[in-house]
Structure 1
Amino acid sequence: MRWNFAKHRSVSHRIILSFVFAAALPLFMLGGSAYYLAYSRLEQVALDDARGLAKSLGMDVFERLQLLTDQLLLVAENGATGRALHTRFEDLDLGERVRGFFTIDGQRRIAGITALTAAERTVLQGSLDSVVADSPVLLAVGPGGRQRLFMMVNDGDGYFGAELSLRHLWDTAGVAARPERVCVLDADAVPVFCNHTDYRGWLAASASLMTVNARPGSVRHDNGETMLTASWSLFLKPYYQFERWTILVGVPESLAFASIARFDRVFYGGAVVALLIALAFGRRLIRSNLEPLDRLSAATHHLAAGEFDYRVQLGTGDEFEQLGDAFDGMAARIGQQFRQLDASARLDRELHSATSIESALLSALVALEELLGRGRCALLCQERWHDPGEVYCIGFGAQSVEHCEASDIHEEIHELAVQRGLVPLGYGVGTKQAADEPVLIPVTDGDVVAAVISVRYGRDGDTDTVRRVADVLGIALGNLAMERRLYYQANHDWLSGLPNRSRLHDQFVEWSLSSAGTRAIGMVLIGLDRFKQVNDSVGHTMGDHLLSVVGQRLRAALPDDVVLGRFSGDQFLLMLVDESHAQLLLRLEEQAQCMSRELDREFALGARQVRLSASMGAALHPRDALSFEGMLQCLDAASYAAKASRRGGLLFFSSGMRDRLVGRMDVEQALKGAVANNEMVLHYQPVVDAISGRVRGAEALIRWQRPGVGLVFPGDFIEIAEESGLINEIGRWALGAVCRQMVAWIDAGVHLDTLNVNVSSLQIADDTFEDSVVQALQESGLEPSRLTLEVTETALIGRFDEGVERLKRVRQLGARIMIDDFGTGYASLKYLKMLPIDGLKIDRLFVKDLPDSPADDAIVTAVVSLSRASSFKLVAEGIETRSQAELLRDRGVPYLQGYLFAKALPPEQFVDLVRAMDDAPAPTAAVGSA
């Protein structure tokens, strides 16, 4: 017995030791594996959090800079100075954001900030040498850590700026109180802000992580603590002419792995219990419970393999069962932690790549069901941009997104949640009234509630889990709203809200590809007539308002299948598609008539009521052109022809229109170098004394000696010169050439009283008109009284008072003013009385039917009486027959001009004509001999 007992005891010890070893080995293997997995996962999460925090802080700083820029621009645009400046900023509540305001005038004098050293003022003034004037400027002055930060915007006369509060700028989201290490570095890696004082060793060790594309990593610095560090660069050069800031975030290892402490306690506690049980009851347990040990051993292998749902479930009723329960609890907690980490990471990836509200909601639902269980969550989201009021929802247990029908799109989302039956009536967001009633968790994007998550059968910790999902979902919904907003802005006109040129192009391409030649596309370019007069008379602001109202009215009057967009300026573009060309033509004409009626209705323009008309050009695809740009060329040609022929009408494109438009463009391009290349010449038509038959003056008529074409008359290029703005250059040249020619003739002994030159209405409207006259007279030395400017009655219509004042000042110089084509314009005798003129020219309209027209004879007699009473010089033009000349002389017209005497001649031929007519005999013979 003694031997057996000793033998049994020795075997028992060996078995106990073997059991202890067998129990301890898998436990520690499990602990090491789980610890390694948890450590790796937590380290990655901490690095991601550091990277995310760095980016979030950088974006917060950028948003604050953007807000300050907008507010500075607002004050700069209002032109506030002095006390008004400070009052304006108090209205904007910028007290905590800025430390002071200042201005820099055109001489770079600084006003507004007194606490600046001479060196700082010099730096601030010198910085203006290298900045772009139209862009905001961000400037840091001083060494790192003690820098002063200034922001400046151009206010037209100089710069307007403010010194930024660094505490407000950097301390975003309570950075100063956060346990993470946060430093902001400038482009030279010099710290400008750190939320902790013991940062130097950490910064020195993190030098390799400060580059733009550096990956996050672990940094061990002087005090022995390891920091999980990431950086993010905030590039400011395109926005503020400032290099960049790099935000460096370090998460202490103790903070990152705090959650693993629970694992340590549970695991090592369980291991100690297991070993104590093994030691205390080894013999009995070894004999009767080898199976539970095997099951525990197997469980450790499952857990090490990542099978966290595997359970031991021992039913021995002893300590092994307790050990198994502890093991199962530990596995459940570890599995829950890993599932939360995996779900959060996966949700973050899926939401950031979501392209629609539906996909974002489904991704959030999958994550919630994985974390909380199936059928416990419902979601509801209201669209805020693309289709405001559209409500999406996923009910409890549902797996697809439905479109909810809301009677009032302005209802609060939690009220819609009640209406949809997701929560009981009377619930408020984020409240819980009973254990079995759902809880509403708001999903916010900034200050806006974008969605609601409803959770039922709540347990401890569920709210925090759902809030984490809600935060990520809110960011994703905000990004989707921003993307849709940017898409809308890129495809719609900001003024009228109608599709812009880019969207019209896309619609055309979509129609042309889908039709495959079976359908025709009709397009109408609607150009408002004389819209420039609206801007000139009431200002561009009212003009923009009128364009917006016009767009809204036309859109409301057109069918839904008609696309209407704002093309550019005062032009709108209509597009529609139809199977039949004939039907399409009819529809285009119907829509054109509809738009003409709408434009003819009165528009309220301030205190005025105005009516509009439009010239419309139409073209068909594919008949007239195949591409969008080709169609636009056709529309331009048709619209131009419509404006030129019949304002307010619709004209369809024809091939001849393009040729005429190309011809006009060629003329305009050739005109641009005509004056510089000395291609312009003047011909002179004599003005004859009706009594003596002698030449007393001449009218200078411009001709264009176009290379490769020959002599071009004014009717073929003056209108184009006026439309293109080249008339001022041509007019200035003509004034100078006439004055120089008159002086040359005087020196040569050619005796003329005056030379006449025609002046366009655009010349009179130009601010340099008076200077052009003065320059021509001074450079030539011509006596001003020998220069006569011919203007038409209609040249001053629209800007009458301004034109009259300019003509008065020209007349005060000594030059003469004569009304050309008198009687054919819109001016009344009232306007004639107000004009500063010296003479009248009877238009050929009243001469061509003489002597057979009693009405024209009476008009001429009346004009003669008017000119004599007003002491006006009177000239009749367009005389082609002897009988016309004799009648006009008999009626008392003193000066005559026309083909009867001579056409417009080059200077040399004109001089020969003057000398020949001066040698002519009797007056009557002179009249009849030419």
Structure 2
Amino acid sequence: MPNHAATGGMMEMPGARYDHDGRDVSAAAPLRVLLIEDDEDDAALLLLALDNAFGLLDSACVDSLAGLRAALSLPGRWDVVICDHTLPGFDARAALAAAQAFGNTAPFIIVSGSMSESDAVAAIEAGAADMISKDRLPRLLPVIRREMQKSRAASDFQLVQAQLRQLACYDEVTGLPKRDFLAAQMAALPGAQVAVALISISRFSHIGRSLGMAAADEVRAQVASRLRKSVGSAGVVGALEAGRFALLLSGSDPAQLADEMARISNETGWPLRIGEQEVFVGLRIGVSLYPRDNSQFNALLVQAALAMSQVKVGCRHNIVFFDPAMEMRGNARWQMEQALHHALRNDEFVLHYQPQVAAGDGAIVGVEALLRWQQPGHGLVAPSAFIDLLEETGLIVAAGEWVLRTACRQFMAWKGVGVRLQRMAVNLSALQFSDSDLVPMVRRILAETGMDAHCLELEITEGIAMDNEDAVFDKLRQLRAMGICLAIDDFGTGYSNLGYLHRLPVNRIKIDQSFVRAIDARTPDSPIVRAIVTLARSLAFDVLAEGVETPLQAQFLDGCGCGEHQGYLYGKPLPAAEMMPLLLQGACGIAGVYSPDQPVCCPPG
């Protein structure tokens, strides 16, 4: 019979041990059994049966409540507790209560030859795993196995729960606490004022795209490590989504906090070693103050994000403290964004049309469709107030499709009443041009409206034309193959590659209005405009000058050989109905009406 210490000592294990399937279990963890039994023979028989069944035992046998408490206080956890029912001075119910009071969670199995059915039921209801009669002792082993499986399942479940809690509270890559932990910590920091800083790794998504997600994770981990080291015990560092971190720092003097943030930024922003290469990272930091700016952590984090959004990428001053005016601007921007969604849905956008005329006789050869917003309760909203937001939100793609469809329909409506126009010009934004559906969308609209592709001119900026050369060229080639005219808008404001410009399948260059407006009585000449016209003619491009406001400018452009003009000298952008009389007239008569330097009207700001 194996040697088991009566007070819980380890059993002796001489040599290798094998289970009933012949597997070596010498290195397996022993079954830890706590036996509550006052009869040595019964205890020996039970332990022998368990030893034969499980191979390795670590057991203790006690016969008093004091001994039970002593055994439960030993290091480690018992796998199973087996208790006789009738013991000197106490019974199994009392032992169960004592074990539960001591925090025991191991299955508690009662072995008895005299326990009544009612006592057995009461014991099981009190928490015992099972009751085995001594005359049916072979049931003990399957019950132990069953309870061990249940115990392991419960232990695994608790482990999974602990892991889920860890994942919920701590970032897997950096080990830093997440948002909820930081919110709880804010109130615990000493000092009357706490700075809540949002720290973002600039262009973090680009790191992932260029080096891979494993490298991006390593960047996060190294930046987190540096932040922890730099902040030390003075504050708490946490991890947020993507390449963002939050920092809580006590302090009452904003200037001192600004210096501390600058120090942390400098210590964290050194180049990182990722694999075999050195990676330079920039940080943008927005800071809000508790309780000055807000008392709620999430609100403070939003304010810090607003402040951080004011940091320009690449700027040396990469730390901005929150100001209430930012929130006002942010709220106004949010409200306008929502209003733009409503504008698309409720047909609040309208088109105004500005004439494009031939030099010399002023004959109207085309019109440019320009987007306007007739906002209920606000009137006509200037495009400068919403076009950038349309781009930023991506709404420009849907709005641009509406513009193109409406402009083509209007062209056909004018054609139906005898208006003779060579073209309708429509602007394409960078986001529209990058949309894979652009060419099919243009083809659909031309088919829907019945408009001749040769009468449509699509304008792109110089920046679009020079970006991603092969993809741009392919898309322009497809549009040109349909018969559509193409124009480069605002020419002269970018950095055109003349070799690439020569390859572009465009028809027209539009001189940016900033160059035209600079022509006045004091500077009646413009070498830049002359050079653009000469360049365009050498490449067989037509030329149109934008922003023509005075006869002096028109005369200079005529002398340069600029064939077409557009601007307030010939007419401001007008709704379709107001444009009709001018189109039926067919020309803009301006000769002798205006003095050389007198603008026709003041364009809206």
Report whether the alignment pairs 1:625 with 2:294. yes
Deviations 1:232-255 (A, max 9, x none): xxxxxxxxxxxxxxxxxxxxxxxx
Residue 436 of structure 2 is aligned to residue 767 of structure 1: yes
Q: Following the alignment from structure 2 to structure 1, what is the Cα–Cα distance between the partners of residues 100 and 225?
A: 42
Please say if 1:652 is aligned against 2:299: no
Aligned to 1:586: 259
How many Å separate the matches in 2 of 1:802 and 1:863?
26
Structure 2 gap segments, 5+ residues each = 1-18, 22-34, 46-62, 67-83, 107-148, 601-605
Deviations 1:754-779 (A, max 9, x none): 11111111112222222221121111
Contact residue 364 and residue 588 of structure 2 kept, 8 A: no
Q: Which has the larger radius of gyration?
A: 1
Write the letter of the residue equivalent to 2:472. G
Alpha-carbon spacing, 1:894–1:560, altered in 2? closer, same or farther (3 Å): farther
- Counterpart of 1:743 in structure 2 is 412
Pairing 1:414-563 to 2, within 5 Å after superposition: 485-511=163-189, 515=190, 518-535=191-208, 542-563=215-236
Where does 1:245-644 land on structure 2 (aligned, <5 Å)? 262=41, 350=102, 485-511=163-189, 515=190, 518-535=191-208, 542-595=215-268, 597-598=269-270, 601=271, 604=274, 611-643=280-312
Q: Are the structure 2 counterparts of residues 809 and 342 from structure 1 closer, same or farther at C-alpha, using a change threshold of 3 Å?
A: farther
Unaligned regions of 5+ residues in structure 1, if any? 1-172, 176-255, 267-305, 310-331, 355-470
Q: What's the CA shift for 1:527?
A: 3.2
* RMSD, aligned CA: 4.4
Q: What is the number of residues matched between the two proteins?
A: 493
**Contact 2:226–2:267 at 8 Å: present in 1 too?**
no
Deviations 1:137-180 (A, max 9, x none): xxxxxxxxxxxxxxxxxxxxxxxxxxxxxxxxxxxx999xxxxx
**Separation in structure 2 between the aligned mates of residue 797 and residue 349 of structure 1, nearest angstrom:** 78
Q: Which residue of 2 aligns with 1:810?
A: 479
The amino acid across from 1:564 in the alignment is: V
Q: Is the 8 A contact 1:614 1:648 kept in 2?
A: no
Q: Is contact 1:851-1:857 (8 Å) kept?
A: no
- Contact kept, 8 Å, 2:261 with 2:319, in 1: the verdict is no
Counterpart residue number, 1:860: 529
- CA 1:922–1:703 in 2, change beyond 3 Å: closer, same or farther? closer
Q: Does 1:755 align with 2:424?
A: yes
Q: Mark the CA change 1:821 to 1:591 in structure 2 (over 3 Å): closer, same or farther.
A: same
Work out whether residues 917 and 926 of structure 1, in 8 Å CA contact, stay in contact via their aligned partners in 2. Answer: no
Match of 2:560 in 1: 891
SS of corresponding position for 2:198: strand
Alignment CA distance shift 1:796-1:860 (3 Å): closer
**2:550/2:594 contact within 8 Å kept:** no
Cα 1:350–1:638, aligned 2, differ >3 Å: closer, same or farther? Answer: same
Cα distance change on mapping 1:918 and 1:608 into 2, 3 Å: farther
Q: Distance in 2 between matches of 1:615 and 1:852?
A: 47
Distance of 2:503 and 2:97 partners within structure 1: 83
Partner of 2:343: 674
Alignment of 1:789 with 2:462, yes or no, is no
User: Partners in 2 of 1:261 and 1:508 — Cα distance?
Assistant: 60
Residues 142-291 of structure 1 mapped to structure 2, 5 A cutoff: 262=41
Distance (whole Å) between structure 2 residues aligned to residue 554 and residue 887 of structure 1: 62
- Contact between 1:528 and 1:613, CA under 8 Å: does it hold in 2? yes
Deviation at 1:609, TM superposition (A): 5.7
| Cα-to-partner distance string for 1:45-85 (whole Å, 9 max, x where unaligned) | xxxxxxxxxxxxxxxxxxxxxxxxxxxxxxxxxxxxxxxxx
- Cα deviation digits, residues 636-672 of structure 1 (max 9, x gap): 3212233499686222111111111000100111111
How many percent of aligned residue pairs carry the same amino acid? 33
Q: How far, CA to CA, are the matches of 1:836 and 1:536 in structure 2?
A: 32
Match in the other structure for 2:380: 711
Match of 1:720 among 364, 389, 399: 389
- 1:665 correspondence with 2:368: no
- Corresponding letter in the other structure for 2:318: G
Residue 375 of structure 2 aligns to which amino acid in structure 1? R
2:304 & 2:441 partners in 1: Cα distance?
39
1:4-36 Cα offsets, whole Å, 9 max, x none, are xxxxxxxxxxxxxxxxxxxxxxxxxxxxxxxxx
Q: For residue 734 of structure 1, what is the aligned residue in structure 2?
A: 403
- 1:375 corresponds to which residue? none
Letter in 2 for 1:889: D
CA distance in 2, matches of 1:546, 1:902: 57
Partner of 1:772, secondary structure, is: helix
CA gap 1:264/1:472 in 2 versus in 1, 3 angstroms = closer
Distance in structure 2 (CA, Å) of the matches to 1:307 and 1:535: 65
Counterpart contact for 1:522–1:588, Cα < 8 Å:
no
Is residue 567–residue 573 contact of structure 1 (8 Å, CA) maintained in 2?
A: yes
Q: Distance in 1 between matches of 2:102 and 2:433?
A: 67
| Paired AA for residue 791 in structure 1 | I
Q: Distance in 2 between matches of 1:820 and 1:890?
A: 22
Equivalent in 348, 359, 367 of residue 698 of structure 1: 367
Higher relative contact order (CA 8 A, sep 6+): 2
Give the whole-Å Cα distance in 1 for the aligned partners of 2:156 and 2:102.
15
Distance 1:174 1:718 in 2: 80
State the secondary structure of the residue aligned to 2:343.
coil
1:912/1:539 Cα in 2 relative to 1: closer, same or farther (>3 Å)?
Answer: farther
Tell me the CA shift for residue 707 of structure 1.
Answer: 1.4
Report the counterpart of residue 872 of structure 1 in structure 2.
Answer: 541
Residue of structure 2 in register with 1:685 after alignment: 354
The question of whether the paired residues in 2 share the 8 Å contact of 1:874 and 1:893 is answered with yes
In structure 1, give the amino acid aligned to 2:166.
Answer: Y
In the alignment, the residues of structure 2 paired with residue 474 and residue 780 of structure 1 have an alpha-carbon distance, to the nearest angstrom, of 72
| Deviation sequence 1:406-457 (CA, Å, 0-9, x none) | xxxxxxxxxxxxxxxxxxxxxxxxxxxxxxxxxxxxxxxxxxxxxxxxxxxx
Q: Partner letter of residue 714 of structure 1?
A: P
1:844 to 1:544, Cα distance in 2 relative to 1, 3 A: farther
C-alpha distance 541-816 of structure 1, shift in aligned 2 (>3 A) = farther
Partner residue in 1 for 2:507: 838
Paired residue for 1:882, among 530, 542, 551? 551
Contact 1:498 1:565 (8 Å CA) reproduced: yes
TM-aligned CA deviation for residue 708 of structure 1: 1.6
Instruction: Report the Cα offset of residue 897 of structure 1.
Output: 1.4
Look up the match of 2:578. Answer: 909
Query: What SS does structure 2 have at the residue aligned with 1:672?
Result: helix
Aligned equivalents of 2:220 and 2:462: distance in 1? 32
Instruction: Report the AA paired with residue 670 of structure 1.
Output: A
Deviation at 1:577, TM superposition (A): 1.0
CA contact (8 A) 1:520 1:584 kept: no
- The 2-side partners of 1:798 and 1:339 are apart by 87
Distance 1:831 1:506, change over 3 A: farther
**TM-score normalised to structure 1 length:** 0.47
How many angstroms apart in 1 are the aligned matches of 2:322 and 2:358?
52
Contact 1:308 1:335 in 2 (8 A): no
SS of residue in 1 equivalent to 2:439: helix
Q: In the superposition, relative to structure 1, how do residues 834 and 577 fare at CA in structure 2: closer, same or farther (>3 Å)?
A: farther
Letter in 1 for 2:587: D
